[in-house]
Amino acid sequence: MSRPVVCIQGLGFVGTAMALAVASARDAAGEPVFDVVGVELDSEEGRSKAKGINSGELPISSADPKMDSALRGALEVGNLRATTDPSVYEQAAVAVVDIQFDVAFGDSAEPSIDFASLEAALRSLATRMPAGSLILVETTVPPGTCEKVLGPLIDSALAERGMAADAIMLAHSYERVMPGADYLDSIVNFWRVYAGRTPAAADACEAFLARIVNADQYPMSRLASTTASEMGKVLENSYRATNIAFIEEWGRFAEAVGVDLFEVIDAIRVRPTHSNMRQPGFGVGGYCLPKDPLFPRLGAGGLFGLDQLDFPFSESAVRVNRAMPLVTVDKLDELLGGLQGRRIILLGVSYREGVGDTRFSPSSTFIDAVSERGGEVVPYDPIALDGSAGTATDFPDPAGCDAVVFAVGHSELVEMDVAAWLGESRPLILDASRVLSAGSLRGLAALGCPVWAIGRGRVEA
């Protein structure tokens, strides 16, 4: 390796995209800026991911052709490889941390956090990386994690090595990755927020990110502390989750009085101050929104000793959003006169359109709830890599089914000819996430299908 080495710790939905973005960075002469090594745990899954990247296969599902192109380009140039050998950290000028950090729910349903995996990951870096290197944490963590947990851990590891406390720098810059059609651009062509544990760390972080992101068009924001940067990501996601939960109650109102809430929301969104208003749907999933609003209280109490602080809006949003798929289950139960013995086709199991990620997908809650009431769910998703157990690989046959639930707006589902697929079948059609247009729903009602839509109510021909 002839260029500065950047190690990406974790090759999931964020780490894979970050590795490709860093490998795609070019200097003024068009030459690669960095040599990139993706590092995974030495487990069956980790070895599979590393092998996939080294053979030109993305370890995650992507609807963005730029991802495949970037991988091919990096392998052709020879500045990207993947490994499960942590000794590569000894060569790293920069290590980017993109590992999972979960919230656990015990028997009491009270959320808790465990820093063990994150601490082990950082210790692996701090005991190997050379002096003058930078650790950049992109993982979403409770505010205060770098200051109270990771910084002291690095100091301890450096002391054991006989190195100065600031020999390895620590910075935080949260990812805003959005898997889908603009997957790679959500890293390269998007605004960055960052901060360093020290001014030198912030400077090093800025210099590194400026080589990767289009900072001229998307200026970066430097915050005063790593805690501020950590808070930025958690606040962003808590705001979005609360917005979604707030709209959910309006969906029930609109359905009850025969108003198309999507028509109302579209009219409101014309006003610039309300352009990001959310809409009711099947549920909230993915890795961020179901857990991140819980981080404020966990950080405040667990890291700063501020047990007196409450975050009722954020925590209520999590409860509302976790229960959202049950709204569709209850409506099916009502419209079908019970779910015992009913066969239901679920179209879409990932957490959002154009994405194969099924982590925290609302489909799991839906499937479990229908099964508990005696029904059978046939789940299908056109792009999910690891959907719910039993996910059909071929489009399900509608013959004999009692209901079809459209849950995720994948383009393959939005554009399908539903009438042709149904043939002579006339099941209940329930659009749980604005997958089908109002005109399409009316057309299905005209065929003789009972039609209901979350946020719209009963649809007539």
Mark out the alpha helices in 96-172 (DSSP H runs): 116-126, 145, 151-160
Rg (CA), the chain: 24
pLDDT at position 388: 47
- How far, CA to CA in Å, does 290 sit from each of 240, 318, 349, 454? 11, 6, 16, 20
pLDDT at position 389: 46
CATH code that applies to domain 249-458: 3.40.50.720
Beta strand segments in 19-75, E: 35-39
What is the residue extent of each domain of the chain? Answer: 5-224, 249-458
pLDDT at position 238: 94
* Token pair in block for residue 110: 């009270």
DSSP 100: -
Pairing relationship of beta strands 169-172 and 193-196 according to DSSP bridges:
antiparallel
**257: exposed, middle or buried (Cβ count in 10 Å: 0-12, 13-18, 19+):** exposed
* Token pair in block for residue 151: 């910084």
What does 291-360 look like in DSSP terms, one character per residue? TGGGHHHHHHHHHH--TT---HHHHHHHHHHHHHHHHHHHHHHHHHT--TT-EEEEE--SSSTT----TT
Nearest-angstrom CA–CA distance, 23 and 28: 15
Q: Of 289, 193, 273, nearest to 240 (Cα)?
A: 289
Asked if the domains at 5-224 and 249-458 fall in one CATH topology, the answer is yes
What does 405-444 look like in DSSP terms, one character per residue? EE----HHHHSS-HHHHHTT---EEEESSS-S-HHHHHHH
pLDDT at position 393: 65
Nearest-angstrom CA–CA distance, 298 and 238: 14
Output the tens digit of pLDDT for each of the chain's 461 residues.
579 999 999 999 899 999 999 999 999 999 999 999 999 999 999 999 999 999 999 988 787 899 999 999 999 999 999 999 999 999 999 999 999 888 876 555 678 888 999 999 999 999 999 999 999 999 999 999 999 999 999 999 999 999 998 999 999 999 988 888 889 999 999 999 999 999 999 999 999 999 999 999 999 999 999 999 999 999 999 999 999 999 999 999 999 999 999 999 999 999 999 999 999 999 888 778 888 899 999 899 999 999 999 999 999 999 999 899 999 999 999 999 999 999 999 999 988 887 777 777 899 999 999 999 999 999 999 887 554 445 666 789 999 999 999 999 999 999 999 999 999 999 999 999 999 999 999 999 999 999 999 999 999 98
pLDDT at position 203: 98
In this prediction the pTM is 0.89
Annotation: CATH topology of 5-224: Rossmann fold (3.40.50)
Pairing relationship of beta strands 35-39 and 80-83 according to DSSP bridges:
parallel
What is the residue whose two structure tokens read 């190690």?
7
Q: Of 297, 283, 153, 190, nearest to 238 (Cα)?
A: 297
pLDDT at position 363: 92
* pLDDT tens string 10-30: 999 899 999 999 999 999 999
pLDDT at position 109: 62
pLDDT at position 102: 82
pLDDT at position 387: 45
CA angle 332, 334, 337 (to 5 degrees): 100
